[in-house]
């Protein structure tokens, strides 16, 4: 990116492209804006599922899965494990990729893993006010923060006992425009 005095980004379609992009008027550098990658997991332990009550917006006070943005220089599975630790001090073992969700309204792609909890000694991290392990019937469904968390919980239940399955995607009719 050109940071020389006088450089300015303007929206235009660069040569050979089909979409309007931010282009530096001084040097022609194209600033691509791409979706954010979110990584997380449905973490199970002895038939219960780990949920975190959010301490931050959006949806502060609501329950969700441990998840967050993928950082530079980490694999998606490493990011999901890091998020579980940051949000619930949960040490987890990733089993396999559970789902890939597209949420175009907020420009996100979510990679959700199925995982097991290695140690049930969990506590809230800085982005959670509370964490808990819930039996299926105890999940606070009306307080789940995001539709994709509900989708992942349902997909987790669908794949219980399966060792070989294709990752799930957005449910039929759910384009992620919530």
Cβ neighbors of 134 (< 8 A, separation 6 or more) are: 48, 49, 50, 51, 140
Whole-model pTM: value is 0.90
pLDDT tens for 64-109 read: 999 999 999 999 999 999 999 999 999 999 999 999 999 999 999 9
More confident residue, 6 or 158: 158
pLDDT tens for 113-123 read: 999 999 999 99
Into how many domains does the chain fold? 2
Instruction: For residues 151 and 69, state if they share a domain.
Output: yes
| Domain with 14 in it | 1-33
- CATH number, domain at 1? 2.20.70.10
Cβ neighbors of 22 (< 8 A, separation 6 or more) are: 9, 10, 11, 30, 31, 33
pLDDT at 124: 98
Residue with tokens 């009719």, as numbered in its chain? 173
């Amino acid at each position: 990116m050109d940071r020389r005095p006088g450089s300015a980004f303007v929206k235009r379609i660069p040569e050979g492209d089909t979409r309007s992009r931010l282009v530096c008027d001084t040097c022609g550098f194209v600033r691509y804006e791409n979706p954010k990658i979110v990584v997380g997991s449905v973490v199970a332990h002895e038939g219960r599922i780990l949920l975190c009550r959010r301490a931050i917006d959006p949806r502060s006070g609501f329950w969700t899965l441990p998840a967050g943005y993928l950082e530079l220089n980490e694999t998606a599975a490493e990011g999901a494990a890091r998020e579980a630790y940051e949000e619930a001090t949960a040490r987890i073992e990733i089993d396999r990729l559970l789902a890939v969700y597209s949420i175009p309204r907020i420009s996100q792609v979510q990679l959700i893993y199925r995982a097991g909890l290695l140690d049930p000694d969990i506590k809230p991290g800085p982005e959670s006010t509370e964490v808990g392990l819930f039996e299926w019937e105890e999940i606070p469904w009306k307080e789940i923060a995001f539709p994709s968390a509900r989708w992942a919980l349902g997909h987790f239940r669908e794949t219980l006992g399966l060792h070989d399955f294709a990752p799930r995607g957005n449910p039929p009719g759910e384009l992620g425009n919530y």
